[in-house]
Amino acid sequence: MHKSIDEFLSALKRELEGCDKALIQDALSDAEEHINTALENILSKKQNITEDEAFSFVIENYGEPLEIADEYKKIEEYLKPVLAPSKKTDKQPGWKKFFLIISDPLAWGASLYMLISIITGIIYGTWIICGLSISIPLLIFIIGIPIAGLFLLSVRGIALLEGRLVETLLGIRMPRKPMFMSKDKGGWGKFKALVSSGITWKAIIYMLLQMGLGIFYFTLIITFFAVSLSLIAAPILELVFHLPMEINGTDAYTHKWILPLLPIVGALLLISTLHLAKLFGYLHGMFAKLMLVKK
């Protein structure tokens, strides 16, 4: 019989061992919120019941860790990310897999993520820099504590939103709800929990790094897409609209025998860019999981 919430959560975590880290975080957060809320309701309505009796009653109705874990495992099978990479072995020949990337939604999702990452990265980085520069000096005053607490809470919220973006566009399972914070801790207790939690500081580091990564991703993807599309369109631009290529500020027309080859080179470059985007999307998804998901 479990004697405390922490003991119950530890048992639930053991039962979920081997599952996705994001699933475990969601399950533990759900369980902690449910048990705490149920305990508060029972203790407020029944004054003649002890906390241990109330806890036993809640667990009896909620279920044992093994039962809860089994339910989450069943549900998870139907709630996988839409763009989750397939675990089935692809037996298609290499050349076919190379060209079929053009119809892979995960590659396009990763490309879109890389394009918008310059916006999200600048927003994240600016918010973190401004938040730290305001919060840290104000900590010498009493008013600095609630301001810093609100800033750290905002970091948790932004991390959750970024996780949803990563899951939607990169197909990597991320937490779908915020980590529960008990109401009975009070303001100072919540502040200490935020400051002492490693996930808070990892999220701050992630957002600072995302500023540089966003600029890199955007520059890389926009450059490759622009070059590949310009090569594909080169014959039409030159032969139909008489628009030459510009090299070092000088107009230059392509030799007639080279023109038919440019769309082929452009198409191959576009396909290669999608493969590159998919690779970077997967690597970034793993990085986001490392930094934004609690162990």
Torsion-angle region of 171 (φ positive above 0: left; ψ -120 to 50: alpha; else: beta): left
Of all residues in the chain, what percent are helix, strand and coil, respectively (each to 5)? 75, 0, 25
The answer to whether the CB of 49 falls within 8 A of the CB of 42 is yes
Q: Is there a contact between 110 and 278 (Cβ–Cβ < 8 Å)? A: yes
What is residue 58's predicted lDDT score, i.e. its pLDDT? 83
- Widest Cα–Cα separation across the chain: 93
Q: At what angle do helices 65-76 and 21-45 cross, to 10 degrees?
A: 130
pLDDT at 123: 96
Residues in the chain: 295
- What integer pLDDT is reported at residue 41 of this predicted model? 83
Cα–Cα distance list, 250 to 9, 145, 246 (Å): 69, 60, 5
Q: How confident is the model at residue 246, as a pLDDT?
A: 57
- What pLDDT is recorded for position 156? 93
The per-residue pLDDT for 60 is 82
Cβ density class 224-235: b for 16+ within 10 Å, e for less = bbeebeebbebb
For residues 128 and 207, the answer to whether their CB atoms sit within 8 Å is: yes
**Short-list 113, 86, 98, 91, CA closest to 272:** 98
- Cα 282 to Cα 288: distance, rounded to the nearest angstrom: 10
Residues 216, 287: contact at Cβ < 8 Å? Answer: no
Virtual torsion, Cα 179, 180, 184, 189, nearest 10 deg:
0
DSSP characters for 28-90? HHHHHHHHHHHHHHHHHH-TTS-HHHHHHHHHHHH--HHHHHHHHHHHHTTS--TTPPP-S--
Domain ranges of the chain: 1-79, 84-295
For residues 160 and 174, give the distance between their C-alpha atoms in angstroms, rounded to a whole number.
8
> pLDDT tens per residue, the chain (295 residues)?
566 788 888 888 989 888 889 988 989 888 888 888 888 888 777 767 777 778 788 888 888 888 889 988 888 877 778 777 666 656 667 667 788 889 889 999 999 999 999 999 999 999 999 999 999 898 888 888 889 999 999 999 999 999 999 999 999 999 988 876 666 566 777 788 788 888 999 999 999 999 999 999 999 999 999 989 888 877 666 655 555 655 555 555 565 656 677 788 889 999 999 999 999 999 999 999 999 998 7
The model's pTM is 0.83
Residue type present at position 13 = K
Alpha helices in 80-143 (DSSP H): 94-99, 105-138
The pLDDT of residue 53:
78
Beta carbons within 10 angstroms of residue 32's beta carbon: 19
